[in-house]
Structure 1
Amino acid sequence: MSHKNTLVLTVSLIMILSLVLTSCQTPLSTEQIKETMNAAVNQTMTAMPTATQIPTATSTPTPAATPTPEPVQYGPTNFPDNVDPLTGLTVADPSILNRRPLMVKVSNFPKEGRPHAGLSSADIVFSYYTGQYESRYLALYYGQDSTQVGPIRSGRYIDRWLVYMYQGVLGLMYAFPPEWSAIVGQLGSSRTVSGGPNTCPAICNLNLGISEVSWFANTAELSSYYAALSGADNSKPNLDGMAFNTLPPANGATANEVTVQYSNANLENWKYDSATKKYLRYIDSEDADGNISLIPLVDRDNNEQLAFSNVIVIWAHYETLNHIDTMHEVKLPGNSGPMLLFRDGQVFEGKWKGVKTDGPIQFFDKDNNPLELQPGNSWITVVGDISQSKEIQPGVFQVIFYTESYQG
């Protein structure tokens, strides 16, 4: 019994005794006094509240502070042996970097060849205009391989510059004679591998009904095919020049979406996904009535939507070489121009430079410091030097492709 309850009981007994002793009535018998006292005690005990236990104070643990990840930064020189200098990512097996990059021409038209195969495995994909509102891709593989890349199409003049800059091996399906001569003249015949009856498993015909969409490459096999050729040099090249940082540059503007419009029927659309910190690719689709809409562009190898860490648009001069606008000279080495970098949901203005004939395109900010990319894959679209860009609504950008001979 608590001290408080004992005190209440004692007071009650004193009051009862006082009443008994001071009563002016006939004195109570001993038995009557006992009964009266017992009744009072019972009544008092019933009225007493149950003692409430005072809770023991429990200290609330202070949440541990989440450590800020250290930024990862590489380039533009002195890349570790296990870091791909074209992505800024570590590779599981550094020996894969002891070779030339493989660069494969990928068709975007006719549309029967879509969805493309193997683009999600590329370090870099270049997109450029090929005439009559169409575009074509050149996919580069260095830090990882793809067992199926395509469908493969013919070469263009620009390919000889890009492949030479990245010291690669070109996989393609021939080219128009003047362009073929220029490509082989720049790269040599061994670094120019055109699909044929004796090139499988490097470049194979899957006989899908239309020749333009039937040829595909296996990049590991293409590397082996090249290495076995007489006079081939498949040693590790110096690919310094690009810079990477997990922290974005300062002074970026919000950029949740960007579209490069070659024409109303040829659209490259990217939407930023904050969960993955990548831009997801959408492509034009035309229904039976000719209406154009955007659909996710997937890789047929894994059925996953293309997602790129960096979307880069560079402005370069297209010199049209024929009256039907299907042959263009776009020389990148030794030249430069404006650019836009889309990364981390932001856009950054800068300048691209073809610093070396045999070195990657380099990117710089307005102060001529390296413009750092997000470590990961990059999609680089080469637009004409009079192409127009604008922010059509907050965070949504549009680039309309123009050349002197083509107004998209």
Structure 2
Amino acid sequence: MRRKVRERRVAATAVLLVSALTATLAAGCSSPGGRDDGRAPDTRPPSSPAEPTTPAAPPVLAVKIDNVPAAKPQTGLDTADIVYVEQVEAGLTRLMAVYATELPETVGPVRSARESDLELLRQFPDPTLAFSGAQSKLLPLIDQAPLNAQPPERTAGAYYRSPNRPAPHNLYLRPDRLMPSAPGAEALTVTGFRYGDAPLGGTADTSETVRYPATRFTFTWSEQQKGWQVSQDGTPTVTSEGERIAPATVVVQYVPIRKSEFHDFLGNYTPYTETVGSGRAKVLRDGRAFDVEWKRPTAEDGTEFTTADGGPVNFAEGQVWVVFAKAG
């Protein structure tokens, strides 16, 4: 499945380049008018009449996914273009899966949002965030954020409860009820990620482990799958069909993780993962590890990864996991 997704991403990228060239040539003869997507037209004046504006990337779908043993195996995780791993209460983790090139039939189990999600999603124009609830004081901030918040109570029929699992680990999303089709690879151009040949150097590496206070992830290179097989606490991470999940690229990004202002009903404060700033990271691809630097100047920016000499770091085509680990 991932090979088909990679082929679609390559094809989509080619279409994007052709579309961008066509749009540039046609810009001089286009006429103003309303939008045909049902949304109000943008009436703001351009910053400079002589300079063409860059069209905004289409919105992605981001889904908060449960990541405790009772929630596994997850559904639709292997179809995501990007999977972010974030620390939550009690030293556990939660996932945010971002979809652009393909929408699976079902995603889940869906769980609640966190404050860190709002900063992380600011890089995407008008993203749709699918989640199930949040801390009561956080809900107004979600409503004020520049995103399309879609909890279960807002879209009838988009979510359902599976009778095969106990609540709260049984809530699933039908993505096509939130957006009619996948936005395409162009929706990912804002991330700052680059894809292509591996940088020079690096070290041979077939296994890396990232530890959180109450869980750990291990990524093991599979030559057969051309990806890094994911395991958590010694148990393979698989699809609902039993296939190993093996992203083509894994980024272990070392970031500040501090206490937020919010806590759960037990008094456990939610960790806040700071994704704006700079620091070090490790990029895993093609059975090798590369020590790199990351930089994200503002929340509206994507994240750039560079080598020690400032050169860009390319990721392998395919799924990317970004694992936010606490900077030491």
Cα 1:236–1:310 shift into 2, 3 Å = closer
SS at match of 1:187: coil
Letter in 2 for 1:193: Q
Counterpart of 1:216 in structure 2 is 172
Distance 1:137 1:257 in 2: 21
Distance 2:168 2:326 in 1: 26
**Equivalent of 1:326, from 253, 269, 275?**
269
The answer on 1:376 being equivalent to 2:318 is yes
Is the contact between residue 57 and residue 189 of structure 2 (CA under 8 Å) also seen in structure 1? no
Deviations 1:262-304 (A, max 9, x none): 14x51211110122321111122xxxxxxxxx2221111x321
Instruction: Give the letter aligned to residue 122 of structure 1.
Output: A
Could you say if the C-alpha distance between residues 343 and 209 of structure 1 is closer, same or farther in structure 2, counting changes exceeding 3 Å? closer
Q: Which amino acid aligns with 1:309?
A: A
- 3-state SS in 2 of match to 1:177: coil
Aligned pairs for 1:194-343 (under 5 A) are: 194-196=151-153, 199-208=155-164, 210-224=166-180, 239=190, 241-245=192-196, 247-263=197-213, 266-284=215-233, 294-300=234-240, 302-321=241-260, 324-333=267-276, 335-343=277-285
Greater RCO between the two (CA within 8 Å, min separation 6)? 2
2-side partners of 1:133 and 1:145: how far apart? 30
When the two structures are superposed, what TM-score results if normalisation uses the length of structure 1? 0.61
- CA–CA separation in structure 1 for the residues paired with 2:58 and 2:217: 31
| Whole-Å separation in 1 of the counterparts to 2:189 and 2:223 | 34
Partners of 1:143 and 1:98 in 2: CA distance: 13
Deviation at 1:209, TM superposition (A): 5.0
Q: Secondary structure at the match of 1:161?
A: helix
Q: Structure 1 residues 271 and 358, CA, compared in 2 at 3 Å: closer, same or farther?
A: same
Structure 1 residue ranges without an equivalent (≥5): 1-71, 84-96, 228-234, 285-293, 387-408
**Identity rate, percent:** 21
> Displacement of 1:253 after TM fit?
0.5
Match in the other structure for 2:109: 151
Deviation at 1:214, TM superposition (A): 1.5
Equivalent residues in 2 for 1:90-169, closer than 5 Å: 99-109=58-68, 111-167=69-125, 168-169=127-128
1:193 is aligned, of 136, 150, 158, to 150
Tell me if structure 1 keeps the 8 A contact 2:120–2:299.
Answer: no
TM score, norm. by length of structure 2: 0.76
Which amino acid counterpart does residue 330 of structure 1 have in structure 2?
T
Task: Say whether residues 1:183 and 2:153 are aligned partners.
Answer: no
| Higher Rg of the two aligned structures | 1
For the 8 Å contact 2:123–2:191, the answer to whether it is kept is no
Could you say if the C-alpha distance between residues 382 and 237 of structure 1 is closer, same or farther in structure 2, counting changes exceeding 3 Å?
closer
Find runs of 4+ consecutive structure 1 residues off by over 6 angstroms: none
